């Protein structure tokens, strides 16, 4: 089994890639136009990007060119993944001893020549303290190739199954129920106009103890056009959120967005306010958060659809009379934070969820207190 001889650099690359993918949840990035390089990404890793470069760097001029190329690729990744900052670990495997590694902004460059170098390098050990015990170092030749291939394939299959479960079509129930409730309430308010004022959001009424208005107003609409526009938006956006996050999370996000949106409306508005648009903006905020975590699949959708829709609707809300844009903004923030709190599938970390809950609760309390005592 060990008759196949693997080049020393290739062997080191396989061991490093195996560790980062199977132990640290990094994923390969396809980078066009590069050879003998491996690019890996993990949003929650100590380094967002890890680049393993097997090309021979023979002088400082070539090194500087290589850094320039790396920065260019990082810039492309930032645009594609809607990221503001990428900290990168740049690992060189073949470096002339005369080449001086420099410190670049957001790029840490190191030279690794062997497994012992990996275990002795302080930069790697600080970022990945378990690397000594988890490097695959007990296999060589064809055994190494087989072990690395099998482990990475198993990890990839597991990730693909998880992604497939998230994105596969599901039976839509909650979105349809919400639409049915809004239509039913509209029919009732058409029969009895007083119901609009009994259920609408209003500062004085809420301060008088009618707290239910913060929820009920999200199911009331001022006219047929208002209802049709919101229900069409709810069907399009709600279907996506319910599919991606599931029914229970969808209900939580929708109601939380409605509450936060209506609380922000109370802070800035004194009149009556009705409509599901605050909750619908919350669903857009949820998609924004979810899409960031799954940006390898949805980055184009975020840039070309979700963000433009949000911006256009906010601009319309600020330019036309009769639109409660503060409810929209509050709902958008509430949807983003509530999705952060409950987690976007298996992509969220515990720390991120805790931060989401803390900010969401503090924001809700602040808006409630500020509106009641302003």
Query: CA dist 65 to 60, 62, 68, 92, 209, Å?
Result: 9, 5, 5, 14, 68
pLDDT, one tens digit per residue, over 348-365 is 778 889 999 999 999 999
pLDDT, one tens digit per residue, over 235-263 is 999 999 999 999 999 999 999 999 999 99
311 in the same domain as 239: yes
CB within 8 A of 144, min separation 6: which ones?
Answer: 6, 11, 14, 15, 136
pLDDT, one tens digit per residue, over 276-294 is 999 999 999 999 898 887 7
Residue 208, judged by CB atoms within 10 A of its CB (0-12, 13-18, 19+), counts as exposed
Provide the token pair at 198. 């009994």
250 in the same domain as 148: no
Provide the token pair at 30. 């396809």
209 in the same domain as 140: no
15 in the same domain as 143: yes
193 in the same domain as 128: no
202 in the same domain as 104: no
In this prediction, residues 111-139 reach a mean pLDDT of: 83
CB within 8 A of 259, min separation 6: which ones?
Answer: 214, 215, 334, 364
Residue ending a domain, choose from 131, 166, 201: 166
320 in the same domain as 282: yes
Tell me which of 257, 328, 338, 371 is the catalytic residue: 328
> CA 339, CA 95: separation in Å to the nearest integer?
46
Angle of CA points 46, 91, 154, to nearest 5°: 65
Provide the token pair at 353. 């969820």
CATH of the domain at 224: 1.20.1540.10
199 in the same domain as 108: no
Mean of the per-residue pLDDT values of the chain = 86
Query: What domain range includes position 52?
Result: 8-166
Specify the pairing of strand 88-92 against strand 49-53.
parallel
Count of other CB atoms within 10 angstroms of residue 232: 11
pLDDT, one tens digit per residue, over 27-50 is 888 777 788 888 888 877 889 999
Tell me which of 233, 277, 286, 371 is the catalytic residue: 277
pLDDT interval class at 190 (50, 70, 90):
very high
240 in the same domain as 218: yes
Share of the chain above pLDDT 90, in %: 47
pLDDT interval class at 1 (50, 70, 90):
very low
Look up the pTM and report it: 0.77
159 in the same domain as 183: no
Provide the token pair at 83. 């990221």
pLDDT value of position 242: 94
Q: Which of 19-23, 26-30, 142-146, 228-232 has the lowest mean pLDDT?
A: 142-146
Annotated catalytic, 328? yes
In this prediction, residues 21-25 reach a mean pLDDT of: 86
Please check the confidence at residue 346 and state whether its pLDDT lies above 70: no
Residue 256 is assigned to a structural domain of this protein: yes
Residue ending a domain, choose from 166, 185, 201: 166
> CA 48, CA 85: separation in Å to the nearest integer?
9
């Amino acid at each position: 089994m060990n008759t196949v001889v693997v080049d020393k650099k290739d062997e080191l690359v396989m061991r490093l890639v195996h560790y980062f993918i199977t132990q640290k949840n990094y994923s390969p990035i396809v980078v066009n136009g590069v050879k003998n390089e491996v690019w890996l990404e993990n949003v929650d890793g100590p380094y967002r990007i890890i680049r393993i470069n097997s090309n021979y760097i023979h002088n400082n001029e070539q090194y500087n060119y290589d850094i320039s190329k790396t920065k260019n690729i990082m810039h492309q990744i930032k645009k594609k993944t809607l990221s503001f900052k990428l900290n990168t670990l740049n690992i060189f495997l073949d470096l002339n001893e005369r080449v001086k590694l420099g410190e670049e902004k957001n790029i840490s460059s190191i030279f690794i020549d062997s497994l012992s170098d990996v275990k002795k390098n302080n930069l790697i050990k600080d970022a990945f303290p378990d690397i000594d015990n988890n490097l695959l170092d007990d296999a060589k030749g064809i055994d190494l190739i087989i072990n690395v291939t099998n482990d990475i394939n198993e990890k990839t299959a597991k990730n693909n199954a998880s992604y497939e479960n998230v994105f596969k079509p599901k039976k839509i129930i909650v979105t349809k129920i919400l639409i049915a409730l809004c239509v039913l309430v509209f029919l009732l308010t058409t029969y009895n106009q007083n119901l609009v004022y009994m259920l609408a959001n209003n500062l004085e009424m809420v301060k008088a103890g009618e707290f239910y208005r913060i929820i009920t107003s999200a199911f009331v609409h001022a006219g047929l056009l208002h209802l049709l526009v919101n229900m069409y938006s709810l069907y399009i956006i709600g279907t996506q959120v319910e599919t991606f996050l599931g029914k229970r999370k969808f209900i939580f996000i929708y109601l939380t967005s409605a509450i936060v949106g209506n609380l922000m409306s109370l802070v800035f508005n004194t009149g009556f306010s009705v409509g599901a648009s605050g909750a619908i903006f919350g669903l857009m905020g949820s998609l924004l958060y979810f899409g960031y975590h799954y940006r390898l699949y949805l980055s184009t959708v975020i840039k070309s659809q979700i963000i433009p829709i949000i911006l256009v609707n906010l601009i319309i809300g600020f330019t036309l009379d009769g639109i409660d844009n503060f409810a929209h903004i509050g709902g958008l923030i509430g949807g983003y934070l509530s999705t952060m709190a409950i987690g976007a599938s298996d992509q969220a970390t515990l720390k991120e969820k805790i931060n989401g809950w803390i900010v969401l609760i503090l924001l809700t309390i602040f808006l409630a207190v500020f509106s009641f005592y302003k």
